[in-house]
């Protein structure tokens, strides 16, 4: 007695093979979970634990697929159904292998790379890693599916050509977004600035608060948040104020000309001693540079060593200015009573 071209015994054999495949898969899964995992936990390396955790499920799925394929060898199936079934098996195997590679890659990144990224001071790599991980995973799955389709006789070249035409149309429609994405990658790789650093362009002066793939958020010195497209930032000249080695102060201090001229020399000496003894100052110059009907001008140029923020620069300059005023007053050196226009 036959059903669909096969005897009951042949259908029974095929069913037993499929059930045996499920049983073997279940047994392998149990061995991996209860025996191999306990063994790998006692080893010094974590690589074997990572491999066992990620290959067990794809390996079990492969056994089940193989059981279905073996069962068909004992059945008389028409050429059309046989070809369709074999193509399905090929695709399933390709998907299974792709799944295995993707699982191992993701687990490796999570286990080894992410902890290293978290230890770095920069936040850029923390933002970039998930994007790179997702992009590589998409590439792995795309290649796996294309290999599977190629094995079943589908013209992959035609599919890629269609995707290429669609990609060109998509790129033309979203060229600004793509330009910003590439600009974001440029910021991630070149590191022209980092989070919380102060930068200055033609339009903006403020602190970088967030760097994304498409836009960068800058908090201006007035306290407002400006969202700037990455493409606009990378196409401009950027002054990274936070990485400057020093901050130069170049000013003229005016004293009254009603005093004896020797007071000018005294004032120069006083200012020179104050600046030269100040620890945060380097490369200083002081000299008599200007005079008019109301005052004598003393030019003071010095560099304040690198500080943590702009506020610290202001505080140090404020300390120096107060010391200069105090010491000049102690020497009975007065300032002009009339406001001098220095422009």
Q: pLDDT tens digits for the chain (343 residues)?
A: 566 666 777 778 878 888 888 888 888 878 877 777 777 777 777 777 777 777 888 888 888 888 887 887 777 776 777 777 778 888 888 888 888 888 888 888 888 777 777 776 655 566 667 777 777 888 888 888 888 777 767 766 666 666 555 555 445 545 566 676 677 777 766 777 888 888 888 888 888 888 777 788 888 878 888 888 888 888 888 888 777 777 788 889 898 888 887 888 899 999 898 888 887 788 788 888 888 888 889 899 988 887 766 777 888 888 888 988 898 888 888 888 765 455 5
Q: Is 194 helix (H, G, I), strand (E, B) or coil?
A: coil
Strand order in the sheet with 281-291: 246-256, 295-305, 281-291
Q: Which tokens is 208 given?
A: 């970088």
Q: Which residues pair with 258 in a beta bridge?
A: none
Q: Contact at 8 Å (CB) between 50 and 107? A: yes
Q: Contact at 8 Å (CB) between 157 and 149? A: no
Looking at residue 173, its pLDDT comes to 46
- The owner of tokens 């015994």 is 9
Give the CA distances from residue 37 to residues 29, 34, 147, in Å, rounded to whole numbers and listed in that order.
11, 6, 32
Angle between helix axes 8-31 and 47-72 (nearest 10 degrees) is 180
Q: Which tokens is 323 given?
A: 């010391």
Nearest partner of 308 among 222, 244, 224, 238, judged by Cα: 244
Distance CA 222, CA 117 (A): 33
Distance CA 343, CA 253 (A): 14
Looking at residue 3, its pLDDT comes to 61
Give the CA distances from residue 276 to residues 157, 279, 307, in Å, rounded to whole numbers and listed in that order.
75, 8, 18
Q: Which tokens is 130 given?
A: 């998930």
Q: What is the CATH code for 244-330?
A: 3.30.70.100
Q: What is the pTM of this model?
A: 0.48
Distance CA 226, CA 120 (A): 27
Residue 176 CB neighbours (<10 A): 11
Q: Contact at 8 Å (CB) between 282 and 305? A: yes
DSSP annotation string for 245-310:
SEEEEEEEEEEETTS-THHHHHHHHHHHHHHHH-TTEEEEEEEEEEE-SSEEEEEEEEEEEP-SSH
Looking at residue 299, its pLDDT comes to 92
Q: Which tokens is 34 given?
A: 């209860």
Looking at residue 158, its pLDDT comes to 65
Q: Contact at 8 Å (CB) between 246 and 304? A: yes
CATH of 184-242, one of 3.40.50.2300, 3.40.50.10310, 3.30.300.30, 2.30.30.60: 2.30.30.60
Number of H helices and number of E strands within the chain?
11, 10
Q: Which residues pair with 254 in a beta bridge?
A: 297
Distance CA 297, CA 271 (A): 13
């Amino acid at each position: 007695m036959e059903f669909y071209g096969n005897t009951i015994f042949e259908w029974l054999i095929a069913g037993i093979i499929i059930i045996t495949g499920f049983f073997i898969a279940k047994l392998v899964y149990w061995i991996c979970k209860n025996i191999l995992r306990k063994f790998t936990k006692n080893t010094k390396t974590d690589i074997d634990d990572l491999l066992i955790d990620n290959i067990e499920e794809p390996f079990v799925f492969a056994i089940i697929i193989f059981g279905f394929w073996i069962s068909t060898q004992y059945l008389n199936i028409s050429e059309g159904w046989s070809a369709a079934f074999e193509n399905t098996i090929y695709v399933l195997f390709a998907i299974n292998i792709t799944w295995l590679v993707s699982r191992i890659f993701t687990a490796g990144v999570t286990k080894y790379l992410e902890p290293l990224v978290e230890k770095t001071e920069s936040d850029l790599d923390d933002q970039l890693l998930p994007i790179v991980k997702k992009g590589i995973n998409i590439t792995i799955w795309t290649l796996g599916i294309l290999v599977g389709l190629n094995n079943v006789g589908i013209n992959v070249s035609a599919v890629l050509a269609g995707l290429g035409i669609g990609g060109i149309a998509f790129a033309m429609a979203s060229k600004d977004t793509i330009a910003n994405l590439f600009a974001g990658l440029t910021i991630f790789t070149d590191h022209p600035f980092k989070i919380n650093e102060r930068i200055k362009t033609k339009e903006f002066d403020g602190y970088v608060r967030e760097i994304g793939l498409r836009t960068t958020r800058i908090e201006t010195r007035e306290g407002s948040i400006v969202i700037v497209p990455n493409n606009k930032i990378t196409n401009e000249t950027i002054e990274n104020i936070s990485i400057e080695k020093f901050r130069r102060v170049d000013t003229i201090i005016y004293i009254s000309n009603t005093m004896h001229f020797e007071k000018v020399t005294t004032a120069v000496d006083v200012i020179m001693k104050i600046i030269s003894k100040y620890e945060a100052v380097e490369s200083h110059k002081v000299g008599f540079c200007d005079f008019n009907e109301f005052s004598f001008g003393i030019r003071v140029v010095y560099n304040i060593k690198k500080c943590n923020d702009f506020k610290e620069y202001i505080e140090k300059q404020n300390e120096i200015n107060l010391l200069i005023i105090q010491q000049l007053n102690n020497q009975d050196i007065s300032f002009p009573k009339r406001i001098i226009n220095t422009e």
